[in-house]
Amino acid sequence: MLNRIITFIFIFFIFLLIATAIFFKFTKKPLSNMVPTEDVKGIQTVQGKVFNVSSTTSIITIIHENSEIALITTPETKIFDDTNILITAKDLRKGFKVTATGEQSSENTLTTEEIKIDKMPNIVVFSPTNLEDVGKSFLISGIARVFENKLSIMLTNSRTNTVLIKKTIDAKSPDTGKFVDFEYLTKIGNASLNDQDPLVLEVYSNSPKDGEKINYVSLNLIFRK
């Protein structure tokens, strides 16, 4: 009798191991940087910053925890701005912070049901990036949505507390209140700079009420001869 019980337990244990292996083989494991949505099987939620918006493939690439995640949009995908107004994928811009919900279709790929903009800064600087090495001439580029389409650029040498560049530029836009690309080629000129001098780049707009700096972006740069 005891031998039969032991045999039964052994067979049951083997069956349990086989069933567990089959379960994990055919069950899709959520990505480590995606969070399962409660009570909805197979639905994942991921947050990140928009890195690229493709106009031809309907794919939005975001960066989350140093990983690229492809968000596939379909005609059924709903996209909302930070005030919950329905928008289109072409309104998404690099630098926006978003939360996407959908079904994981492959590794680091999400077929989206909804994309919500969490933060839509009025000024986003693409280049240079924080702690980047720069010379006496470098390009400042990004997007802006500011009052009268005017924004200010200031470059300061932190070591000497000297303002190297202070300039107001026009971010020309055909529509008021819309984001527009901007570019400005800096030329420091004959300013005295040492190799590895710390520089601070400030990009901002001025308040129409009191002239105070608003929509402020600050980047630390390193001068290289």
The average confidence (pLDDT) of the chain is 85
Q: Which of 13-17, 42-46, 165-169 has the lowest mean pLDDT?
A: 13-17
Average pLDDT over residues 199-225: 95
pTM score of the predicted model = 0.76
On whether both 144 and 181 belong to a single domain, the answer is: yes
156 and 112 in a single domain? The answer is no
Q: Are residues 145 and 214 in the same domain?
A: yes
At residue 55, the pLDDT reads 78
Q: Domain check: are 81 and 153 in the same one?
A: no
Q: Can you give the pLDDT at residue 20?
A: 53
Range of the domain at 109: 35-119
> CATH number of the domain that 212 lies in?
2.60.40.2550
Position 3 in a domain? no
SS3 per-residue string spanning the chain: CHHHHHHHHHHHHHHHHHHHHHHHHHCCCCCCCCEECCCCCCEEEEEEEEEEECCCCCEEEEEECCEEEEEECCCCCEEECCCCCEECHHHCCCCCEEEEEEEEEECCEEEEEEEEEEECCCEEEEECCCCCEECCEEEEEEEECCHHHEEEEEEEECCCCEEEEEEEEECCCCCCCCCEEEEEEEECCCCCCCCCCEEEEEEEEECCCCCCEEEEEEEEEEECC
The model's pLDDT over 19-62, given as tens digits with 9 standing for 90+, comes to 555 544 444 445 555 555 444 447 899 999 999 998 787 999 99
pLDDT in tens, 82-129: 999 999 998 899 999 999 999 998 889 999 999 999 999 999 999 999
